[in-house]
Amino acid sequence: MQATLSPTSRIPAKIASFDGSFVAVAKQDVRLPCIAVGSPSPQLHWKMRGQPVPPRSERVRQLPDGSLQITRVTKEDSGTYTCMVNNKFGQDMVAHELVVNGPPDPPEIQVRRTISYHFNFRIHIFIFIHFFLY
């Protein structure tokens, strides 16, 4: 009896990177990994806090290797980022938590009323010089 093994091109989509937490300082660049494998090549897409990443964002873009790059992060970029891959043989996903630390937001100041007072002062100085002769 003889067994033969032939290569297959039916490989389910999988992600070869792990879930992770990322901490960044405001205005840093961040790269969230998502390395997809499978045959046929999987389709890959990212979600930011459950919403699809906009395809034409100035600061957020998907790199050729599947990673998501966020340029000059802000505290508003904090949240969960999910990478999802699929092909006709399977699907997989990985989630990353991003925490952006930075200075506190500036306080909001509202001017409700302005009051102006004007004062005019006149000062008269009298100098008396008195000589006493003894």
The reported pLDDT for the residue numbered 105 is: 65
- Tens-digit pLDDT string for the chain (134 aa): 666 656 667 899 999 988 999 999 999 999 999 999 999 999 999 999 999 998 778 899 999 999 999 999 999 999 999 999 999 999 999 999 999 998 766 777 787 777 777 667 676 666 666 566 65
Q: Which helix (H) or strand (E) holds 79?
A: strand 79-87
The per-residue pLDDT for 57 is: 84
Q: Is residue 20 part of a domain?
A: yes
Which domain does 56 fall in, by range? 11-101
Give a yes or no: residue 110 inside a domain: no
**Residue 125 domain flag:** no
CA angle 72, 78, 84 (to 5 degrees): 100
Q: Is residue 85 part of a domain?
A: yes
The total domain count for the chain is: 1
**4 domain residue, yes or no:** no
Is 49 part of a structural domain of the chain?
yes
What is the reported pLDDT for 119?
Answer: 67
Q: 72: left (phi > 0), else alpha (psi -120 to 50), else beta?
A: left
**Domain containing residue 26: CATH number:** 2.60.40.10
- What pLDDT is recorded for position 43? 96
CA pair distance 60, 54, nearest whole angstrom: 8
pLDDT for position 3: 61
In this structure, is residue 131 part of a structural domain? no
86 part of a folded domain: yes
